[in-house]
């Protein structure tokens, strides 16, 4: 794009980096700005919430262990009103901690210590998915799953006529399952659909996203209406005659 045209474009929304470790913040900022991303900073949860209101970032890199308001609480607050992608950071890399972060609404989770180059790769992958969606799901039209309608063009979901707010990852997960016509999709296949092939993502991430999606749809794992677990295999959508209205790839 010519420089003269770029000069007239509005500035891109920044990436918000939230961490109380000044060295980590400086390192992440340096790597992101090298890639051309504008960056704003916060050192605690309360300041992060102010920055989110003031700057409406395109993505949040969010530490879990923050003073004043911790990262999990920030994520819950954000998810009440926004589907902005969140990459969560934490020195607590245990499986249960990762699942908790993803269940609260994070899109990805990176354990400390981490490579800043890997963080940049994950940021780009999250933004690419948010902008274009996954190749493994239908991209146009509308899908129906029992009483859930998935508008792929508007990225909107309604259950029995009521809107359901989903994160970009949750939307793609639901659309991928609903677009599979009742076939069982393995965790590995779903990970590839959501994160892209070759990205090293913890496989139980899918379980956390499914649990969050079920909660938002009012579904129950023990007596599901929309998404069933297939032991040792993965997940499938319970179409129950639910139809692909006019979805296409």
Q: How far apart are CA 174 and CA 177, in angstroms?
A: 5
Cis peptide before 14 (omega within 30 of 0): no
CB 223 within 8 Å of CB 178: no
Residue 58 pLDDT exceeds 80: yes
Give residue 97's pLDDT: 73
Burial group, residue 23, by CB count within 10 angstroms (0-12, 13-18, 19+): exposed
For tokens 């649990």, what's the residue? 211
Q: Is the pTM of this model over 0.75?
A: no
Which DSSP state fits 143?
E
H or E stretch covering 48: helix 45-55
d(CA 53, CA 70): 17
Give the pLDDT band (50/70/90) at residue 227.
very high
- Domains defined along the chain, listed by start: 3-132 (3.40.50.2300), 142-237 (1.10.10.10)
Tell me the per-residue pLDDT of 81-118, one tens digit each, with 9 for 90 and over. Answer: 888 999 999 887 666 777 788 878 888 889 899 999 99
Instruction: Say if residues 226 and 145 touch (Cβ distance below 8 Å).
Output: yes
Residue 211 clears pLDDT 60, i.e. is over it: yes
Name the DSSP letter for residue 157. Answer: E
Reported confidence tier of residue 183, pLDDT bands at 50, 70, 90: confident
Residues 137, 171 contacting (CB under 8 angstroms)? no
Please, are residues 15 and 32 in contact by the beta-carbon 8 Å criterion?
A: yes
Q: How far is the C-alpha of 28 from the C-alpha of 96, rounded, in Å?
A: 25
Closest-CA residue to 195 (of 71, 104, 102, 91)? 102
β-strand partners of 194:
none
Q: What pLDDT sits at residue 131? A: 62
Q: Which SS3 state, helix, strand or coil, does residue 41 take?
A: strand
How wide is the angle at C-alpha 113 spanned by C-alphas 112 and 115, nearest 5°? 110
Lowest mean pLDDT among 82-91, 140-149, 181-190: 181-190
Give the strand pairing for 15-18 and 185-186. Answer: unpaired
Both tokens of 45, joined, read 């949860």
| Contact partners, residue 40, CB within 8 Å, separation at least 6 | 14, 15, 16, 17, 51, 55, 57
Separation of alpha carbons 60 and 22, rounded Å: 17
Q: Which band of pLDDT confidence, cut at 50, 70 and 90, is reported for residue 6?
A: very low
Q: What is the mean pLDDT of residues 6-21?
A: 77
């Amino acid at each position: 794009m010519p420089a003269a045209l770029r000069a007239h474009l509005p500035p891109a929304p920044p990436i918000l980096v939230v961490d109380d470790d000044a060295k980590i913040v400086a390192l992440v900022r340096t790597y992101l700005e090298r890639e051309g991303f504008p960056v704003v900073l916060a050192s605690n949860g309360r300041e992060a919430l102010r920055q989110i209101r003031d700057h409406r970032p395109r993505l949040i890199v969010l530490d879990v262990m923050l003073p004043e308001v911790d990262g999990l609480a920030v994520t819950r607050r954000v998810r009440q009103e926004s589907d902005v992608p969140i990459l969560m950071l934490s020195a607590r890399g245990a499986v249960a901690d990762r699942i908790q972060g993803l269940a609260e609404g994070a899109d990805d989770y990176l354990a400390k210590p981490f490579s800043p180059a890997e963080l940049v790769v994950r940021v780009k992958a999250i933004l690419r998915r948010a902008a274009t969606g996954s190749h493994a799901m239908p991209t146009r039209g509308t899908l129906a799953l029992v009483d859930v309608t998935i508008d792929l063009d508007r990225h909107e979901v309604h259950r029995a006529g009521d809107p359901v707010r989903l994160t970009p990852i949750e939307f793609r997960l639901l659309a991928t399952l609903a677009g599979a016509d009742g076939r069982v999709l393995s965790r590995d296949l779903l990970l590839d659909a959501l994160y892209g092939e070759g990205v090293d993502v913890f496989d139980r991430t899918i379980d956390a996203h499914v649990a969050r999606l079920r909660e938002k749809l009012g579904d129950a794992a023990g007596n599901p209406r929309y998404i069933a677990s297939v032991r040792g295999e993965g997940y499938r959508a319970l179409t129950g005659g639910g139809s692909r209205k006019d979805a296409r790839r």
